Structure 1
Amino acid sequence: MGSIGNVESGNQNSEKAKSSSIFRYNSPFVQVILIGLVCFCCPGMFNALSGMGGGGQVNATASNNSLTALYTFFAIFGILGGGIYNILGPHLTLFAGCSTYVLYSGSFLYYNHHQHQTFAIIAGGILGIGAGLLWAAQGAIMTSYPPVNRKGTYISIFWSIFNLGGVIGGLIPFILNYHSGSGAATVNDGTYIGFMAFMALGAVLSLSILPASKVVRNDGTRCTNILYSNVVTEFIEILKLFYNWKMLIMVPAAWSSNFFYTYQFNHVNKTQFTLRTRGFNNVFYWGAQMLGSVGIGYVMDFSFKSRRKRGLVGICVVAVLGSSIWVGAIANQIQRNGHETLDFKDSSSHYAGPFLLYFSFGLLDAMFQSMVYWVIGALANDSEILSRYVGFYKGIQSAGAAVAWQIDNHSVSPLNQLIVNVVLTTVSYPLMLVLVLRAVKDNNGSEEEPVKQVAPSSADNDFNQ
């Protein structure tokens, strides 16, 4: 009996040790890595394509119109995406969202041969729907799966993996168009085919993500107490977001966080550099995002014992760095010679300054968005609540982007676009400080308790599984 008892005790200890490993398939760490790889393949490659300016085309009109359609639908389905995720769960939501990225890249492959923008615009609208679903699911996972006191670290892990997609995506056009010389203006077919292959892989990989109810942290807690939701509940809860002061105070930060892409991609990378240099620049732009996310993640998780103080310091760090970068951007724009196109080989003496500015844009983007995600994650702990918060953030963010791409289409001067970006980001910092002061607690609890719901029927359970 004693030996049997010892064996049983040993088995229990072994199981306990196994359940404490961060490398378990159902651990938050592994799930964050998986969602990072999904975004590496899909939005990571999309970012590399967009970052070239004009979707890799000499004329940015088709890309601007396509991106306007994309972000218009993204604004709608970003807000609705949290509710859809709560109803469908991660598998259907992520797979449906990821599948639309392949179509978008394919539309530019078609445009390369036929120069008809209708397909690109339709594909952009469809991608807007898919992106709304993908990012709502990603936001719910990123803000609710990690341990409460390590959300900044997990966000930085995700952001690094995700933006590695932009790095690899930048290498694709750089390598495939390297021998085209400094005078080429449009990327070749192989560039779009390479993007499509990665995006298809991401759609398949999205099926590996577990629902929140199956993810177990090392302390044995699960990520949510909510089982499933329904359409009526989600519709009501989404409407409530529009008079939730925490969401309204976040609107300037959300609106500005993709608004600046138009200026950075179309008026810095596209107009100031040759085609192959644009791909080269993107490698470092998205690489800078990896550095920025790790740096701000450390500040917001480890700089002080008080969670509220870490949030305040993190926002101040981003504000100081961001303001400095925008000052450099204004100086660059004023001094800009509109007829000079820089190549990393042929114009090395004049290349360093604009390159450093573009690199800094990537650093700021990651720090700004990681900071906002951390604040959202600090407002609650439950994935159902956080999926709605992130959906609202992505919806407003996408509405701003849609406006930005059309502003560019209407020939608003680059300097005026830049000034609008500076004003929007500057206004957002004090508002985020107020949000942290009033809504973020120093303990591990959340201000808002999870919504209690009636248990679903067996039919509902079958549907969601």
Structure 2
Amino acid sequence: MSATGEEKAHVIGSATSSVEQLEIHERPRGWRGLYYHPATQVCLVGFVCFMCPGMFNAMTGLGAFGQVDATSSANANSALYATFAFFAFFSGSVHNVLGPRLCLLLGTWGYSLYIASYLATNIHPGAGDFVVVAGAILGVCAALVWTAQGSLMMAYPTEAQKGTFIGYFWAIFNLGGVVGSAVAFGSNFNSMANKVGNGTYIGFLILSLTGVVLPLFLADPYKMIRTDGTRVTPIRHPSWKTEFISLFVALKTDPWIVLLFPMFFASNYFYTWQFNDYNGALFNIRTRGLNNFVYWTAQIFGSFFIGHYVLDLRRFRRRVRAFLGWSIVVVLVFAVHLWSYYYQLTYTRASEPPTAVKMDINDPDYPAHIWLMIFYGLLDSMWQTTAYWLMGAMSNDPAKLAVFTGFYKCFQSAGSAVVWRLDAVQKPYMDIFISTWVLAAAGMICAFPLVYMRVKDYTEMDDEALLNRPNVERLPEPSEK
């Protein structure tokens, strides 16, 4: 599967693109060409996240991780995202020392432990502290998983493919949420209770353990050649000191990334209201499962639409596509939150206690409520895809992208830790909702100057600052080995 003539012409003929300054390599053919194809590898990363974060999302989307009392779940999530936020700040540096495959291998087992803690709680109701500890451990593991994922997903495609590849990953990853939600919905269809049974947790645990072994099948990144013939150039085993310095190098050489921090902070903040304070508060367990199913299904369509048909639309320059994607997300933010505000006016924590009779799929008011979950799924996927695409537009260097992804997950998890704690201490639903809306709007407003000033039509060599750091050993070309 060698580079096509059109792709080579783009590389050679683009006077302003950095890729013209790189050597063009012949891609492998046959089965090796399929295995080492960037799309194949990004899809494999997607399946890792399908089995682990995907199962986690499916259970989280049920509200309270399938439990009646949301307090233990909220405290566990607060611990999870607090450790996630702390370790994610350094996870880019850890990734550049250990490599993506080892990060994925070490990180995925934390999801199995977390799911197992809820199974233990179902069997022994007094095991709530175990759930909180497992959440804190998962925060460390998740930082490794998501940093490795983000670096590979943004480094493997060419500049013209980044939105599409993000869409591929997001579709496969969220298919995990779809399958998991279908399992939860089917296994609890005849239940009118407000919590899931042991069988559901066991099924999710088995699926997550499958994801632990999948990183073994990923290719070594230094052997990867993009479809335009340019080689992916990861860094091999630099010193810890050099890698921690890279955090500040990235900020110094690309200070515009700071304008995305509010967008990062808000990017998981809205999950608490969606899953606990809307889905968990208003619906019984089987209806929560159906809501969860349509939510993650909508994510598949939303990410691929904005990634492939907007952010990678070749008839427009990259700057135009950036403005178009930003505008679509802003419109959705205000439309969906106005709709949500109308529903939030109708209930409070006092009016919807955990023991109350919840809304069922047969209730006449249900169809309008499930459409809100669909649009929330579209908003979330478009938000995350746009955030990743903006980072990918700033660099093609896997080391720099790993640092950016670490920043992303650090601030994203800090926001999640704050809001899950607010939910755990029973803050009013309306307060949490208003803070969600304000932060989402602020995040998009702060991102606008970066879109206007920093996104270029092509990534230039000056943007690859971490490639040229001193005292960093580069992997040899195949001819040097």
Matched, 1:371 2:386: yes
Alignment partner, residue 463 of structure 1: none
Of 72, 84, 89 in structure 1, the residue corresponding to residue 82 of structure 2 is 72
> In structure 1, the residue corresponding to 2:35 is in which secondary structure?
coil
Match of 1:248 in 2: 258
Which stretches in structure 1 are left out of the alignment for 5+ residues?
1-14, 459-465
CA positional deviation for 1:320: 0.6
Paired with 2:250 and 2:222, the residues of 1 have a C-alpha distance of 24
Equivalent of 1:307 in 309, 313, 318: 318
Answering whether residue 143 of structure 2 is matched by residue 128 of structure 1, we say: no
In the superposition, relative to structure 1, how do residues 225 and 106 fare at CA in structure 2: closer, same or farther (>3 Å)? closer
Match runs of 1:141-156 below 5 Å: 141-156=152-167
Structure 1 contact 22–30 (Cα < 8 Å) conserved: no
Work out the CA distance in 2 between the residues paired with 1:225 and 1:174: 42
Q: Establish whether residue 215 from structure 1 lines up as the match of residue 224 from structure 2.
A: yes
Instruction: Answer yes or no: is the 8 Å Cα contact 1:163–1:287 preserved in 2.
Output: yes
Equivalent position SS for 1:221: coil
Q: TM-score w.r.t. structure 2 length? A: 0.88
RMSD value over aligned CA atoms? 2.1
User: Could you tell me which of 312, 321, 329 is aligned with 2:340?
Assistant: 329
Residue of structure 2 in register with 1:399 after alignment = 414
Partner deviation per Cα, 1:113-146 (whole Å, 9 max, x = no partner): 2122111111101100000000000010111111
- Aligned partners of 2:238 and 2:220: how far apart in 1? 13
Q: How big is each residue's C-alpha offset from its partner over 1:332-391, in whole Å with a ceiling of 9 and x where there is no partner?
A: 11134845621113x1x1101111111111110000010000000001010000000011
After TM superposition, the structure 1 = structure 2 runs for residues 299-448 of structure 1, keeping only pairs within 5 Å, are 299-302=310-313, 304-336=315-347, 338-339=351-352, 341-345=358-362, 347=363, 349-445=364-460, 447-448=462-463
Cα–Cα, structure 1 residues 110 and 146, in superposed 2: closer, same or farther, change >3 Å?
same
The amino acid across from 1:140 in the alignment is S
Distance, in Å, in 2 between the alignment partners of 1:146 and 1:135 is 18
Q: One-letter code of the match for 1:403? A: V
8 Å Cα contact 2:242/2:471 also seen in 1: no
> How far is the alpha carbon of 1:70 from its aligned partner?
0.6
By percentage of residues, which structure has more helix?
A: 1
Letter matched to residue 337 of structure 2: W
Matched, 1:286 2:303: no
Q: Which residue does 1:230 correspond to in 2?
A: 239
Structure 2 letter corresponding to 1:355? I
What is the distance in 1 between the residues matched to 2:374 and 2:199?
26
CA deviation digits over 1:66-111, x for unaligned, max 9? 1111101100121111111110012211000001111000000001
Counterpart contact for 1:94–1:207, Cα < 8 Å:
no
Partner amino acid, structure 2, of 1:416: D
Asked if structure 1 preserves the Cα contact closer than 8 Å seen for 2:235 and 2:474, the reply is no
- Verify the 8 A CA contact 1:241 1:392 in the aligned structure 2: no
Residue 289 of structure 1 aligns to a residue whose secondary structure is helix
Unaligned runs of 5+ in 2: 1-24, 476-481
Please state whether the residue corresponding to 2:235 is helix, strand or coil: coil
Maintained 8 Å contact 1:105/1:192: yes
Q: CA deviation at 1:436?
A: 1.7
Deviation string 1:405-428 (CA, Å, 9 cap, x unpaired) is: 001112111111111111111112
Number of matched residues? Answer: 441
Q: CA deviation at 1:221?
A: 1.4
Residues 191 and 23 from structure 1, CA distance in 2 versus in 1: closer, same or farther, beyond 3 angstroms? farther
How far, CA to CA, are the matches of 2:386 and 2:30 in structure 1? 29
CA distance in 2, matches of 1:22, 1:251: 40
Distance, in Å, in 2 between the alignment partners of 1:447 and 1:162 is 33
**Distance in 1 of aligned mates of 2:379 and 2:262:** 16
Q: Which amino acid aligns with 1:342?
A: M
Structure 2 counterpart SS, 1:148? coil
Q: Tell me the equivalent position of 2:14.
A: none
- Contact kept, 8 Å, 1:78 with 1:391, in 2: the verdict is yes
CA 1:45 to 1:457, structure 2 compared with 1: closer, same or farther past 3 Å?
closer
TM-score for both structures, normalised by structure 1: 0.91
Superposed CA deviations along residues 262-301 of structure 1, whole A, max 9, x for unmatched, are 1000111111111011111111000010011011112011
Residue 194, structure 1, aligned to residue 203, structure 2: yes
Matched, 1:106 2:123: no
The answer (yes or no) to whether the contact 2:157–2:227 under 8 Å persists in 1 is no
Evaluate the alpha carbon distance shift between residue 236 and residue 455 of structure 1 in structure 2; reply closer, same or farther with a 3 A threshold.
Answer: closer
The Cα shift of 1:234 comes to 1.2
Aligned in 2, Cα 1:136/1:16: closer, same or farther, shift over 3 Å?
A: closer
CA distance in 1, matches of 2:220, 2:380: 29
Whether contact under 8 Å (1:90, 1:210) holds in the other structure is no
Q: Give me the whole-angstrom Cα distance separating, in 2, the residues matched to 1:284 and 1:397.
A: 24
| Paired residue secondary structure (1:359) | helix
